[in-house]
């Protein structure tokens, strides 16, 4: 969140609005959050599930075999995808992006640099998935944070010094190479000698479960990229800059939601392998409540303070992005109650359940986006996202509650109702600050600080059960240490 918040105005200033919009469109094909993240064919998610299942049973040799097979498979798929992009991309993408004539040449060369980065990114994704299967989500996220930080730092520096699109793309690929080395070292320290001979049987198994995930993943990528692509195709690269400002603030709230629910995939895989249904239900209830408690304060702060945030962040020239931001972050609030549930279904091997619900929601989102951007402009794509999120609630909520054995009334009472009072109090306090005659910077600091403080105080009072805070402190206390999932006795 922090590095993205810092880097966007730097990239925008260094590249200019047209080149920045072109770079944003190019990165919709990246292997982190773009279309080529699909290039692993679902193997990355399958890796987490397979490594967790074998590690939970104490299968040391099998765990290493799964890790090696996944790394070899993802690297090979990255080479195939990168080569395809390097050959086809320079011909197709400049026209697709409606690229200005003076940026066509730099864009074509930048596409080749991105092709190299795709190979490295898919390999890193495999290494991170293996760490998560070992229940070291903390290390996986540190590796990912290092990767994103070094890439952002390199690209922002290149943009400010050179102002050249190609140099920025090369800097991004080089930084990703450094991150790949770090990822290998971190996994090796957790699982020494993991680089065994890949197994053909493991390749088949990873691809088999990955195939169901692979059908789901395009919908997620389409959801993340459609707004930029639709606006770029209809209104041009300059309009994409406004979308990116709103989308980055939206991504900040989504990052908290993702971070607070991400560990559920390996955890539910581990619990499913051990058939621990009681703990699974507790994970669903408490996990959802904690995830919403972590996410909602940021959503409220961004939605109410967006004019001041945009003015401080990128300047008054981009004030139009403030209204877009308010609409954009509301979709995160709608998604929050189901974030843990969808991750649990994925870890339990129920990707097809998510796929059916997501197909309907994304189809509605896409159709409305194309229609509304012509009718009401840029804000139309964010309104369409809101509608899609609302449609997804019942479609995904029902199978999630059935899978965990929870009733709707119980789920609402234990996970959502305790969050209402803190949210209302924060909203009142923040809006009271907004109407005061303060500068934009003072509004952000005072409104954001007071609002989050009020939410936190109220949450401690009404959102946690007696003794629950002490239990959390005990679990998270420094020096507790982490069990070795390979050495752990499955019978314990």
pLDDT computed for residue 484 by the predictor: 45
Chain CA centroid to CA 359, Å = 19
pLDDT computed for residue 146 by the predictor: 93
Structure tokens at 474: 């005990």
Per the listing, tokens 């209204």 go with: 323
Query: Which has the closest alpha carbon to 245: 262, 260, 231, 259?
Result: 231
Q: How many CB atoms lie within 10 A of CB 227?
A: 27
pLDDT tier, 466 (very low <50, low <70, confident <90, very high otherwise) = confident
> Residue 224 falls within a domain, yes or no?
no
Whether the Cβ atoms of residue 76 and residue 122 lie closer than 8 Å to each other: no
pLDDT computed for residue 197 by the predictor: 73
In whole angstroms, what is the distance from residue 124 CA to residue 140 CA? 10
Q: How many CB atoms lie within 10 A of CB 101?
A: 7
In whole angstroms, what is the distance from residue 26 CA to residue 112 CA? 11
Chain CA centroid to CA 231, Å = 21
Per the listing, tokens 């139309």 go with: 380
Q: How many CB atoms lie within 10 A of CB 79?
A: 16
Give a three-class secondary structure readout of 210-255: HHHHHHHHHHHHHHHHHHHHHHHHHHCHHHHHHHHHHHHHHHHHHH
Three-class DSSP category at 275 = coil
Query: Which has the closest alpha carbon to 435: 304, 328, 316, 246?
Result: 304
Structure tokens at 231: 């606006």
Per the listing, tokens 């934009």 go with: 440
In this predicted model, what pLDDT tens digit does every residue of 25-49 receive, in sequence order?
888 888 887 778 777 788 888 888 8
> Residue 262 falls within a domain, yes or no?
no
Least confident window among 354-358, 412-416, 442-446: 354-358
pLDDT computed for residue 169 by the predictor: 93
pLDDT computed for residue 98 by the predictor: 79
pLDDT for 198 beyond 80: no
Residue-number span of the structural domain to which 104 is assigned: 1-212
Mean pLDDT for 74-99 is 90
Least confident window among 112-116, 326-330, 465-469: 465-469
pLDDT tier, 269 (very low <50, low <70, confident <90, very high otherwise) = confident
Mean of the per-residue pLDDT values for the chain? 85
pLDDT computed for residue 486 by the predictor: 42
Mean pLDDT for 199-213 is 72
Least confident window among 99-108, 169-178, 417-426: 99-108
pLDDT computed for residue 201 by the predictor: 78
Instruction: Please tell me which residue, 207 or 77, carries the higher pLDDT value.
Output: 77
pLDDT for 87 beyond 70: yes
- Which range, 59-68, 379-388, 427-436, is most confident? 427-436
Query: ∠ CA 18-305-262 to the nearest 5 degrees?
Result: 80
> Residue 253 falls within a domain, yes or no?
no
pLDDT tier, 483 (very low <50, low <70, confident <90, very high otherwise) = very low
pLDDT tier, 51 (very low <50, low <70, confident <90, very high otherwise) = confident
pLDDT tier, 474 (very low <50, low <70, confident <90, very high otherwise) = confident
Instruction: Please tell me which residue, 466 or 244, carries the higher pLDDT value.
Output: 244
pLDDT computed for residue 481 by the predictor: 44
pLDDT computed for residue 406 by the predictor: 83
pLDDT computed for residue 170 by the predictor: 95
pLDDT computed for residue 215 by the predictor: 59
In whole angstroms, what is the distance from residue 238 CA to residue 165 CA? 15
Give a three-class secondary structure readout of 6-28: HHHHHHHHHHCHHHHHHHHHHHH
> Residue 451 falls within a domain, yes or no?
no
In this predicted model, what pLDDT tens digit does every residue of 136-190 receive, in sequence order?
888 998 999 999 899 989 999 999 999 899 999 999 999 999 999 999 999 999 8
Does the pTM of the predicted model rise above 0.75? Answer: no
> Residue 448 falls within a domain, yes or no?
no
> Residue 144 falls within a domain, yes or no?
yes
pLDDT for 386 beyond 80: yes
In this predicted model, what pLDDT tens digit does every residue of 214-233 receive, in sequence order?
555 556 666 667 787 788 77
Tell me the angle at which helices 237-261 and 200-235 cross, rounded to the nearest 10 degrees. Answer: 140
Least confident window among 63-72, 190-199, 301-310, 445-454: 190-199
DSSP 436: S
> Residue 375 falls within a domain, yes or no?
no
As for how many domains the chain has, the answer is: 1
> Residue 321 falls within a domain, yes or no?
no
Structure tokens at 466: 């007696």
Kindly report the backbone phi and psi dihedral angles of residue 485, in degrees, each rounded to the nearest multiple of 5, phi listed first: -65, -20
């Amino acid at each position: 969140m922090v590095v993205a918040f810092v880097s966007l105005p730097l990239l925008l200033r260094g590249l200019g609005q047209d080149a920045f919009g072109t770079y944003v469109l190019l990165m919709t094909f990246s292997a982190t959050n773009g279309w080529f993240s699909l290039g692993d064919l679902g193997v990355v998610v399958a890796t987490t599930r397979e490594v967790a299942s074998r590690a939970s049973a104490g299968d040391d040799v099998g765990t290493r075999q799964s890790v090696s097979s996944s790394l070899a498979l993802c690297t090979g798929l990255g080479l195939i995808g990168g080569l395809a992009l390097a050959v086809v991309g320079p011909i197709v993408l400049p026209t697709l992006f409606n690229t200005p004539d003076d940026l066509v040449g730099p864009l074509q060369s930048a596409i080749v640099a991105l092709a190299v980065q795709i190979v490295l990114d898919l390999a890193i994704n495999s290494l991170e998935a293996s760490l998560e299967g070992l229940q070291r989500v903390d290390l996986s996220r540190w590796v990912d944070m290092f990767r994103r930080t070094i890439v952002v730092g390199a690209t922002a520096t290149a943009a400010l010094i050179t102002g050249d699109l190609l140099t920025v793309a090369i800097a991004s690929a080089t930084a990703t190479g450094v991150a790949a080395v770090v990822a290998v070292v971190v996994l090796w320290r957790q699982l020494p000698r993991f680089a065994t001979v890949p197994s053909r049987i493991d390749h088949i198994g990873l691809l088999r479960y990955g195939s169901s995930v692979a059908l789901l993943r395009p919908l997620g990528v389409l959801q993340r990229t459609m707004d930029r692509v639709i606006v770029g195709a209809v209104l041009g690269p300059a309009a994409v800059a406004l979308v990116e400002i709103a989308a980055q603030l939206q991504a900040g709230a989504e990052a908290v939601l993702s971070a607070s629910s991400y560990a559920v995939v390996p955890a539910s895989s581990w619990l499913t392998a051990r058939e621990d249904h009681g703990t699974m239900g507790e994970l669903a209830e408490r996990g959802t409540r904690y995830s919403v408690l972590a996410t909602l304060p940021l959503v409220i702060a961004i939605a109410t303070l967006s004019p001041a945030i945009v003015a401080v962040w990128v300047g008054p020239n981009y004030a139009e992005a403030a209204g877009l931001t308010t609409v954009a972050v509301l979709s995160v609030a709608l998604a929050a109650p189901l974030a843990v549930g969808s991750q649990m279904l994925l870890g339990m091997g129920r990707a097809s359940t998510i796929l059916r619900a997501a197909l309907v929601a994304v189809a509605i989102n896409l159709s409305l986006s194309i229609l509304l951007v012509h009718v009401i402009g840029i804000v139309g794509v964010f309104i369409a996202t809101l509608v899609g999120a609302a449609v997804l609630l019942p479609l995904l909520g029902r199978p999630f509650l059935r899978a965990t054995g929870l009733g709707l009334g119980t789920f609402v009472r234990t996970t959502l109702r305790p969050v209402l009072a803190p949210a209302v109090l924060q909203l009142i306090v923040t809006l009271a600050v907004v109407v005061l005659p303060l500068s934009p910077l003072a509004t952000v600091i005072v409104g954001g600080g007071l609002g989050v403080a009020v939410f936190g105080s109220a949450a401690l009072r009404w959102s946690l059960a007696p003794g629950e805070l002490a239990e959390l402190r005990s679990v998270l206390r420094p020096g507790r240490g982490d069990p070795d999932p390979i050495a752990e006795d499955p019978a314990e």
